[in-house]
C-alpha cells in the first residue's frame, strides 16, 4: 500500500464471498519492517458486517 493511501485511510477492509453474500472484516493494525509499513491482514482483524 502506498504511503499516501495510509495517511488518508485509518482502516483496511476485506470482503470474503461465501454462502450467497459477503462477510467484511477490518483492521487498523500496522506492520512495519525494513523501512516499509502497511496494514495487517484484515481477515485477522475484527468482523464488521455481512452484505
Q: Following DSSP, what letter does each residue of 1-51 receive, concatenated?
A: --HHHHHH-S-EEEEEEETTEEEEEEE--EEEETTEEEEPPGGGSEEEEE-
Cell numbers given for 41: 491482514
**Strand 21-27 relative to strand 30-33, pairing:** unpaired
| Residue 39, domain extent | 3-50
Q: pLDDT tens across 13-39, in order?
A: 888 998 899 999 988 888 888 887 777
Q: Does 3 or 41 have the greater pLDDT score?
A: 41
Whether 10 contacts 1, CB under 8 Å:
no
pLDDT for 31 equals: 80
What is the count of structural domains for the chain? 1
Amino acid at each position: 500500500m502506498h504511503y499516501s493511501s495510509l495517511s488518508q485511510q485509518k482502516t483496511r477492509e476485506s470482503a470474503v464471498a461465501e454462502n450467497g453474500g459477503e462477510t467484511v472484516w477490518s483492521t487498523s493494525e500496522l506492520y512495519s519492517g525494513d523501512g516499509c509499513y502497511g496494514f495487517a491482514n484484515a481477515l485477522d482483524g475484527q468482523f464488521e458486517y455481512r452484505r
